[in-house]
A and B are shown apart, each in its own frame.
Chain A
Amino acid sequence: MLKVRDDDAAAFDELMLRYQNRLVTVLEHLVGRRDQAEDLAQEVFLRVYRARKRYVAGAKFSTWLYTIANHVAANALRSRSRRPEVNISARATESGGIGTLDKMAVASSGAMPTRQMDKAELRDVVREAMQGLSERQRLAVLLNKFEDMSYADIASAMELTPQAVKSLLSRARVNLKELLEPYFDDGTRPQ
């Protein structure tokens, strides 16, 4: 990033190649849509380029990148919440299956106690559970799980204290457990 700051174009290319998949992954699971995630990721890289002169040597680039990503995603989600759009949790899944946990529970209620779920269905269930978290919980989970960021780095990126991040991740894990556990233990719907 220091080379990018000094207007090295090749360095910017390399930085983009290194982070583009990771950034789009986080944004996709944050906003729930791949097309929007790619648009937002491009906006993030553009902002990184424009702000390159303000980059401070010694700062972690990933923390800086996800601070910008947090702002960009938050703005997008705020704009989206003001506009009536298709409910994310009810969208059709890639496997062609049902999009909500409740509907999956109904479909499985007649099945055997130990349900055999194929990979695509499991992926959809986990994805839906993620959408059941708050935006802040989701981002904290994604940065911790996918980017392996410490509480301190997540706090910096999300402009929170490390203690707040600790609570956020704790609540997120508990919520995920409560959303997913009933379906994997015995297939019954949560009460």
Chain B
Amino acid sequence: MTNHESAQPEIDDELTAYLDGELDAVSVRRVEDRLARDTMYRAQLQKLERTWDLLDRLPRADVGEKFTKTTLEMVAVAAAKEAEDVKLALPKLKQRQRLAGIIGMVAALAVGYAIGRQTWPDPNEALLRDLPVIENMDLFYQVEDVDFLRALDREHLFEDAEGDNAS
């Protein structure tokens, strides 16, 4: 059932795009140049345009108030259901939110403590570590020779009676 024109889909594509204003400026000039000199090309354009204009005969809907009213009622029902679903989910949501908050706080505290310990070491640790020296400081001042003290330490002469080694 195809005629000569419809056997040339490229021509139809081009003419349709031209009628729909979808061609670039260069293509429009090319089409219009051909329309001016090619009668069959021009006839095809006119036929396509005429049948397209016939679509204006198709009726347009006018739905009326009843359609609007029933549609808005449907949407209102959907909105009410949506609100109900949110309300039912709220206690669970709040519980989850509280738990998440607690976990987050604990995690933040743990991380903060670890960073703090790295950044600001406990000054008391140094004192505890050096306690044996501090306790015997009066004696060590009398010796005045660190190498001599180290030699005595190598002989384990600074260990106390319980065998604890504080160094």
Q: Which residues of A contact B (CB under 8 A)?
A: 12-13, 16-17, 20-21, 24-25, 28-29, 34, 37-38, 41-42, 45-46, 49-50, 119, 122-123, 126-127, 130, 141, 144-146, 150-151, 166-167, 169-171, 173-174, 176-178, 180-181, 190-191
Q: Which residues of B contact A181 (CB under 8 A)?
A: 47, 51
What is the count of residue pairs linking A and B with beta-carbon distances less than 8 angstroms?
111
Besides A37-B61, A150-B22, A174-B48, 11 new A-B residue pairs in contact (Cβ under 8 A), listed by A number: A16-B72, A17-B68, A34-B61, A122-B54, A127-B58, A145-B55, A173-B48, A176-B51, A177-B51, A178-B6, A180-B51
Q: Does B59 contact A (CB under 8 A)?
A: yes
Contact check, A16 vs B68: say whether CB atoms are below 8 A apart: yes
B68 with A141: CB separation less than 8 A: no
State whether the Cβ of B79 lies closer than 8 Å to any Cβ in chain A.
yes
A17, A29, A49, A146: residue with the most chain B Cβ atoms closer than 10 Å: A49
CA distance A34 to B2 in the complex (A): 32
Q: Which of B2, B5, B51, B63 contacts A20 (CB 8 A)?
A: B63
Contacts of B82 in A (CB 8 A): 50
Bin chain B's interface residue count: 35 or more
Q: Say yes or no: A12 contacts B75, CB within 8 Å.
A: yes
Are B61 and A173 in contact (CB-based, < 8 A)? no
Q: Does B141 contact A (CB under 8 A)?
A: no
Q: Which residue of B lies closest to A20 (CB)?
A: B63
User: B57: which A residues are within 8 A, CB to CB?
Assistant: 119, 122-123, 126
Q: For residue B79, which residues in chain A have a CB less than 8 angstroms away from its CB?
A: 49
Closest B residue to A167 by CB, please name it. Answer: B13
B16 pairs with A166, CB closer than 8 A: yes
State whether the Cβ of B67 lies closer than 8 Å to any Cβ in chain A.
yes
Q: Contact mask B16-46 → A, CB, 8 Å, 1/0?
A: 1101101000000000000000000000000
Q: Are A174 and B22 in contact (CB under 8 A)?
A: no
Chain A CB count within 10 A is highest, among B6, B16, B61, B79, for B61
Q: How far is the CA of A17 from the CA of B107 in the complex (A)?
A: 53
Contact (Cβ within 8 A) A126 B71: no
Q: Which of B5, B52, B58 counts the most chain A CB atoms within 10 A?
A: B58
Partner of B13, one of A38, A50, A166: A166
